[in-house]
Amino acid sequence: MIALIDYGMGNLSSVYKAFNAVDAEGLKIVSTPKEVKGADAIILPGVGNFGDGMKNLTEKGLDQAVITAVSDGKPFFGICLGMQLLMESSEEAPDVAGLSILKGKVIRFSKEMGLKIPQIGWNCVNLTRQHPYFTGIFSGEFFYFVHSYYLKPENSETVLGITDYDIDFCSCVAKDNIFATQFHPEKSQDEGLAILRNFIENIRK
């Protein structure tokens, strides 16, 4: 079973439909730690506030369930807020601890930027290395973003994709069984669906 975690933070329906479009057999929307524990792979989507996201996960006991699942080596796919929650902290909610699965923090784009905040729309993702989930996708392809905050991982080796929005920021991470994107693959047409398809095909191996 592939667990798509519902913790009340939006974009669940669009992610569910996109994964079904690539024949994600066994995909199930879940909302309890028991369901997460029984899953073979984990998808953590989400849009909205970092503090609200952690509050919802914690109240449902899903925070520890996700941490345990990742620690057990289960494939993990985070999307947008689901990527940011991997970090230790965020400027969006300074007093709230993240899942701390990856070391680092989430930073807000500077108000002194010459570009609009939030970033909304298409931007390219330049890969730092090859990865199975990007099979058939060229470095520099465009994906759809909606965000005001970005990851600053402590370990640069976790960075898989870099995007330029006045600054170069981390738009994708990958480490062991962890994979996550700041952009929305479910809204990124063929290239986004290719990532989802590659994820499904790899966890079936």
Active site residues: 80, 184, 186
Cα dihedral value 21, 11, 105, 167, nearest 10: 80
CA distances from 132 to 39, 104, 145, 198 (A): 21, 24, 22, 7
Q: Which residues contact 31 (CB under 8 A, 6 or more apart)?
A: 5, 6, 7, 60, 62
Do 106 and 149 form a contact (C-beta atoms < 8 A)? Answer: yes
Rg of the chain (C-alpha set):
16
What is the token pair recorded at 92? 């969006």
Beta 89-90 vs 104-108: how paired, if at all? parallel
Q: How far apart are the first and last CA of the chain?
A: 14
What is the token pair recorded at 138? 């060229």
